[in-house]
Structure 1
Amino acid sequence: MPSSAKPIDSTDDPHGFKRRGVLFVLSSPSGAGKSTIARKLLAAEPELSMSVSYTTRPPRPGEVDGVDYHFVDLETFREMASNHEFLEWAHVFDHRYGTPKAQVWHVLEQGRDILFDIDWQGAQQLHQLAGGDVVRVFILPPSMPILRDRLEKRATDSLAVINARMDRAANEVSHWDGYDYVLVNDDVEQCFECVKTILAAERLKRSRQTGIIGFIRKLLR
């Protein structure tokens, strides 16, 4: 979050009540279009920032430490986990991924929103810890054959890896009912508009409008 950003705080402006931020989770099988939608959402929503996870996997070409991920060795990751520095963490394809706790609480308390690109395990852990601050959106592919076709056309993985991703996809889809919203990405623009609408509605929930009490008191004077 930029250092110049200020919390949303007003008891006079009915469109600017102080509020708690949203922990906005996007999950999907690999190849379902989640990353594309996440990039579009970050570009369209200046008050939304991406949670930067820690991972034990090596950087891919073009990835920047501290921007895409915090890249650490296994020993460091284990030490952070034992010190309870993660809100959630998971073991995925022989590597570990974890969400830093301190950064998330700081941004949330400022009334800002955080986007999470995590799987169903991470979403479940996050919901257990943060409850009502978490909004979970699961993105489905139009069909499993289409999902496989997308993975093959990316030409970044071997056949064995694609097969493993498809097996994992079936497992991930089976957890669809652990989410607040479920969308089918058969049209990326339409799916993106639905995701934007969900975020806008969740920001306006009465339970998040912590500044509305002051406004109502003034209104009734």
Structure 2
Amino acid sequence: MKDDKGLLIVLSGPAGVGKGTVCNALRNEDTDIEYSVSATTRQPRAGETHGINYFFKTKQEFEEMIENNKLLEWAKYVDNYYGTPLDYVEETIDKGKDIILEIEVQGAKKVKERYPDGVFIFLMPPSLAELRNRIVGRGTENEDLINKRMNVAREEIDMMESYDYVVENDEVEKAVERIKSIVTAEHCKKDRLIEKYKQLVEVE
């Protein structure tokens, strides 16, 4: 028996760790998990599509969303805004479907304050050297920005303590299997099911 509400799953970790790749692989394998599309003011990378990878917004458009309380969370990261549109997340959970947010560590902290029952997963690189190689391999940042991202990554890894689970992204397929196992276990947690099961033994 599954609990009526869906899970809010938050996946975050340092830039370059492969959050987008893991989320895309998870979405392709498990159709029961909805994927929340974030909004951002950064420029699209090659192959990214508006409305699928991100909602690409101007700075003015994003700041209007902040003012109108249209975001579950938002953060400014390396001179760009990132945020999660609120309405779609709440509607999905209320329908009993799980939804995964791929967000930065700053944003995850804000979500936890609002949704402490969420499932918070920190995606780790095998090493900082491998993380740097992945960022360099994207070919989208200059040396100065790469160094900034590495400095931020060290700070973000220090915030791992506030997460429920840590998944190493050594291989995408293995990371996906670990996340699927976490979701299955969370749906079996006593605290999520106890009220529903108590109703089965209540005497009318």
TM-score (normalised: structure 2): 0.89
User: How far did 1:214 drift?
Assistant: 4.0
8 A Cα contact 2:25 2:172, kept in partner: no
Larger Rg: 1
What is the 5 A alignment of 1:134-173? 134-173=118-157
3-state SS in 1 of match to 2:45: coil
User: How far did 1:202 drift?
Assistant: 0.9
Is 1:112 aligned to residue 97 of structure 2? yes
8 A Cα contact 1:19 1:208, kept in partner: no
Stretches of structure 1 lacking an aligned partner (at least 5 in a row): 1-14
User: How far did 1:191 drift?
Assistant: 2.6
Q: Residue deviations 1:95-151, cap 9 Å, x none?
A: 11111111111111011111111111111111111121x111111112211221222
Matched to 1:22, the amino acid is: L
3-state SS in 1 of match to 2:177: helix
The alignment's C-alpha RMSD in Å is: 2.0
Number of equivalenced pairs: 203
Tell me the equivalent position of 1:198.
Answer: 182
User: How far did 1:170 drift?
Assistant: 0.8
Percent of residue pairs identical: 37
User: How far did 1:213 drift?
Assistant: 4.2
Deviates more, 1:156-165 or 1:46-55: 156-165
Is 1:180 aligned to residue 164 of structure 2? yes
Q: Aligned partners of 1:199 and 1:41: how far apart in 2?
A: 12
3-state SS in 2 of match to 1:37: helix
8 A Cα contact 2:38 2:83, kept in partner: yes
Tell me the equivalent position of 2:111.
Answer: 126
Tell me the equivalent position of 1:10.
Answer: none
Q: Aligned partners of 1:145 and 1:165: how far apart in 2?
A: 13
8 A Cα contact 1:28 1:172, kept in partner: yes
